[in-house]
C-alpha cells in the first residue's frame, strides 16, 4: 500500500532538450546534474538537508507511555518495503476503544539508507507540527528496540485513488471540490515552510463523510521559504514537476505542478504526460505539449495551462502569491473558501461504510491477511537506536481528553448501489460543451470514448451521446440535447 508509507525512488534516464519555449525548460549550466542517479548515497550534512533532532523537549513531559501492547491489531491495511500498516484499537487509557491506523517501520530496513532515515524523521516531525482539517493527524509515536510506530487517525473512506478508479473520471464540479480542500492543505503546509512533494491520488484519503486528508509525508521537505530551493530528487514521476526531474532546485511551486497533474488525471482518466516507459514519461513532462479533451470548459483548460507551466516562475501559484492566486482563478468562482475550510460543503461522494472500523474501502488483498506484528529478527546496536532518540509522541489533544469517554461508533450508511454515482445520487449535472464534433469516434487520452447520434421521433429532437468507458466497464453516458449535457452511469457493455 504505497499510499500509506512506501518510499520508492525510480531510476531516471537523462533527457536532453533541444530548444527553449514556454513548453520547454532551459538547462542552466552549473545547477543541474545531467545524469542524475536517484540511488546515489547523498551527503546529508550539506545545506540541502536538515538535521531533525527530535528530543523529549518536543513533547509533553506528562505524556502517556505507549507500547505495542496498548493496541489490539484488527486488520492489515497495507504493506510496504519497510513494514506494515494495521488497523488497531487502543486497549486502555485516553481514547480507549478508539480505532487508529498504526504504521510500523523496521529500523533495520530504514538505517540502510541515510535518506530513508531523514525521510522517516521528517515525516514524524511534520506530522507533529501540522494540525489541519485536511491533513491526517498523528496521535502517538513510539518505538521498540527494532521498530518505529506511528499511530494515525483511521480514515475508513479509503483512498481517492480507489474512488477515481471506480468512477473512471470525475466531472468538473466534483474535481473542484476535491481540489479546493487539497489547496487549503497545501497552503497550510507552505505557510509552515513545508513542501509536500508527493501529491497523487494514492496519498489522498477520504474520511467517512468524503472529505479529503493528505497522508504520507515521507518525501516532504521542511524549512523552505519563498526564496529557497531544494535539490532532492523525489516523488512520483507522472506527477513530478520538471524542475525536480532536472534537479535545478525546486520550491513550493513544485506542489502546484502536481496539483495540475492531479486535476488533469481526475478529469481525463490519466496524468497529462504519461509514456510507455519512465524515459518516455520524463521526456513528455519536459518537452511534451499539453492537450485537452474537447469536453473541457474554458476555465478548466486555462487553470491546467497555468498550473502546468514548465518554468516554475511562470506557474500559477509561484511565490510570492502561492495559493492565493490559485484560489482567485475563475475555475473556483463558485467556491466559498471559508465554507470549504469549515467543511460546510457536502462532498460529492460519501464512502459506503457501516461503522468506525469498516475496512471495505481498502484492498481485500491486505485486509484478509492475519494482522501480526512480526518479531524483530535482527539486533540493532545502541548507536543505531540513538538515531531515533526522541521519537516518542502523544498528541496534546489526547492529553487534554484523557478522562473523556471513547468516541461512539459512527452511524451506518446505506451501501452504494452497483453502477450508481454521486451524479445520480444528488442531481444530474449539466454543462455546456461548445463545438462538439460530429464524429463517430473521439480520441480521449486514457479512456475509450464514443460519440453516437440518434433522433427522438416523439419530440422531434436530435440527441448526441458521448460514452466514456471506465476501468470497471461501466459506461458514463453524457447525453446532449439543446446544447446541454447530462451525466449518468450504467453497467452496460461498451457500444460496438
Cis check: omega of the bond before 409, within 30 degrees of 0: no
- Domains of the chain and any CATH numbers: 56-156+354-400 (3.30.200.20), 160-341 (1.10.510.10), 422-490 (no CATH)
User: Distance of CA 313 to CAs 135, 253, 411, Å?
Assistant: 27, 8, 48
Tens digits of residue pLDDT in 234-255: 447 899 999 989 988 888 999 9
The confidence score (pLDDT) of residue 144 equals 85
**Is 464 marked as binding a ligand?**
no
Residue reference for cell 479546493: 180
CB 261 within 8 A of CB 308: yes
Compute the C-alpha angle 337/343/347, nearest 5°. Answer: 100
Could you write out the DSSP letters of every residue in 225-287? -TT--B----S-GGG--HHHHTTS-B-THHHHHHHHHHHHHHHHSS-SS--SSHHHHHHHHHH
CB 272 within 8 A of CB 289: no
Q: How many helices (H) and strands (E) does the chain have?
A: 14, 14
Positions in the chain whose pLDDT score sits under 50: 1-62, 219-226, 228-235, 388, 390-391, 393, 396-450, 452, 454, 469-477, 480-496
User: Distance (Å, rounded) from C-alpha 487 to C-alpha 465?
Assistant: 10
CB 421 within 8 A of CB 488: yes
CB 15 within 8 A of CB 282: yes
The confidence score (pLDDT) of residue 446 equals 43
User: Distance of CA 471 to CAs 77, 167, 239, 420, Å?
Assistant: 23, 8, 21, 15
**CA-wise closest residue to 50 among 141, 113, 107, 122:** 122
Residues 6 or more apart from 84 whose CB is under 8 A from it? 76, 77, 78, 104, 373
Number of residues assigned to the chain: 496
Catalytic residue among 70, 95, 116, 198: 198
Put simply, whether the predicted model's pTM sits higher than 0.75 gets the answer no
The confidence score (pLDDT) of residue 128 equals 73
Compute the C-alpha angle 97/103/105, nearest 5°. Answer: 140
Whether 198 is catalytic is yes
Amino acid at each position: 500500500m504505497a499510499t500509506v508509507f512506501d518510499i520508492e525512488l525510480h531510476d531516471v534516464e537523462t533527457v536532453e532538450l533541444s530548444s527553449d519555449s514556454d513548453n520547454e525548460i532551459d538547462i542552466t549550466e552549473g545547477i543541474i546534474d545531467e545524469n542524475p542517479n536517484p540511488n546515489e548515497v547523498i551527503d546529508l550534512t550539506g545545506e540541502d538537508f536538515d538535521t531533525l533532532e527530535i528530543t523529549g523537549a518536543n513533547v509533553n513531559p506528562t505524556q502517556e507511555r505507549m507500547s505495542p501492547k496498548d493496541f489490539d491489531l484488527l486488520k492489515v491495511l497495507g504493506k510496504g518495503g519497510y513494514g506494515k500498516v494495521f488497523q488497531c484499537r487502543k486497549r486502555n487509557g485516553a481514547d480507549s476503544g478508539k480505532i487508529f491506523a498504526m504504521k510500523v517501520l523496521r529500523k533495520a530496513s530504514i538505517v540502510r539508507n541515510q535518506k530513508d532515515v531523514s525521510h522517516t524523521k521528517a515525516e514524524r516531525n511534520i506530522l507533529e507540527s501540522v494540525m489541519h482539517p485536511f491533513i491526517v493527524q498523528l496521535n502517538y509515536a513510539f518505538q521498540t528496540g527494532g521498530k518505529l510506530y506511528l499511530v494515525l487517525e483511521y480514515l475508513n473512506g479509503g483512498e481517492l485513488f480507489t474512488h477515481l478508479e471506480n468512477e473512471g473520471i470525475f466531472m468538473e464540479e466534483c474535481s473542484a471540490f476535491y481540489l479546493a480542500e487539497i489547496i487549503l492543505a497545501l497552503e497550510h503546509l507552505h505557510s509552515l515552510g513545508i513542501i509536500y512533494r508527493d501529491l497523487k491520488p494514492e496519498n489522498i484519503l477520504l474520511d467517512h463523510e468524503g472529505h479529503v486528508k493528505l497522508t504520507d509525508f515521507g518525501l516532504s521537505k521542511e524549512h523552505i521559504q519563498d526564496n529557497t530551493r531544494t535539490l532532492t530528487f523525489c516523488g512520483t514521476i507522472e506527477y513530478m514537476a520538471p524542475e525536480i526531474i532536472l534537479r535545478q532546485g525546486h520550491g513550493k511551486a513544485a506542489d502546484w505542478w502536481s496539483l495540475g497533474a492531479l486535476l488533469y488525471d481526475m478529469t481525463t482518466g490519466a496524468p497529462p504526460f504519461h509514456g510507455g516507459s519512465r524515459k518516455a514519461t520524463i521526456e513528455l513532462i519536459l518537452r511534451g505539449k499539453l492537450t485537452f479533451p474537447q469536453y473541457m470548459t474554458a476555465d478548466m483548460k486555462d487553470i491546467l495551462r497555468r498550473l502546468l507551466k514548465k518554468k516554475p516562475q511562470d506557474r500559477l501559484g509561484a511565490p510570492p502569491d502561492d495559493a492565493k492566486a490559485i484560489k482567485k482563478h475563475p475555475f473556483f468562482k463558485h467556491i466559498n473558501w471559508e465554507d470549504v475550510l469549515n467543511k460546510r460543503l457536502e462532498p460529492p461522494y460519501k464512502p459506503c461504510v457501516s461503522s468506525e472500523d469498516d475496512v471495505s474501502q481498502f484492498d481485500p488483498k491486505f485486509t484478509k491477511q492475519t494482522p501480526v506484528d512480526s518479531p524483530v529478527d535482527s539486533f540493532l546496536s545502541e548507536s543505531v537506536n540513538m538515531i531515533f532518540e526522541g521519537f516518542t509522541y502523544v498528541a496534546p489533544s489526547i492529553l487534554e481528553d484523557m478522562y473523556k469517554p471513547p468516541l461512539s461508533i459512527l452511524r451506518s450508511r446505506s451501501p452504494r448501489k452497483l453502477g450508481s454515482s454521486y451524479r445520480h445520487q444528488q442531481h444530474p449535472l449539466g454543462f455546456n460543451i461548445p463545438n462538439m464534433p460530429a464524429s463517430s469516434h473521439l480520441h480521449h487520452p486514457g479512456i475509450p470514448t464514443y460519440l453516437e447520434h440518434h433522433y427522438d421521433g416523439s419530440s422531434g429532437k436530435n440527441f448526441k451521446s458521448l460514452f466514456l468507458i471506465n476501468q470497471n466497464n461501466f459506461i458514463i453516458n453524457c447525453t446532449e440535447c439543446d446544447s446541454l449535457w447530462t451525466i449518468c452511469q450504467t453497467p452496460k457493455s461498451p457500444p460496438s
